[in-house]
Amino acid sequence: MKRSRFSEEQIIGILRQAEAGIRVVDLCRKHGISDATFYKWRAKYGGMDVSDAMRLRRLEEENARLRKMVAEQALDISILKDVLSKNF
């Protein structure tokens, strides 16, 4: 998955500027992002602190790692079942 060129700290800073009263159009032009990107960030990071965003990223990484482990185990189980069914 492609990583954003903005860190969580920068994203939250941009969102805070919008909360302070700067127009969304001006922010988007200044930082080189689209309106859709801004609103997607607001849906995901709205109301978060930097520490919350970093914790969210760590949890997402751990979740991805665990999903990969489960998928590998399911594949191993499937292969073992196929091998056992062919031997008898």
Query: Cα(27)–Cα(14) distance, rounded to whole angstroms?
Result: 7
**Per-residue confidence (pLDDT) for residue 58, from 0 to 100:** 94
Which residues of the chain fall below pLDDT 50? none
pTM, whole model, 2 decimals? 0.66
**Per-residue confidence (pLDDT) for residue 53, from 0 to 100:** 87
**Per-residue confidence (pLDDT) for residue 1, from 0 to 100:** 56
**Per-residue confidence (pLDDT) for residue 84, from 0 to 100:** 87
Q: Which residues are within 8 A (CB) of 42 and not within 5 positions of it... i.e. 6 or more apart?
A: 15, 18
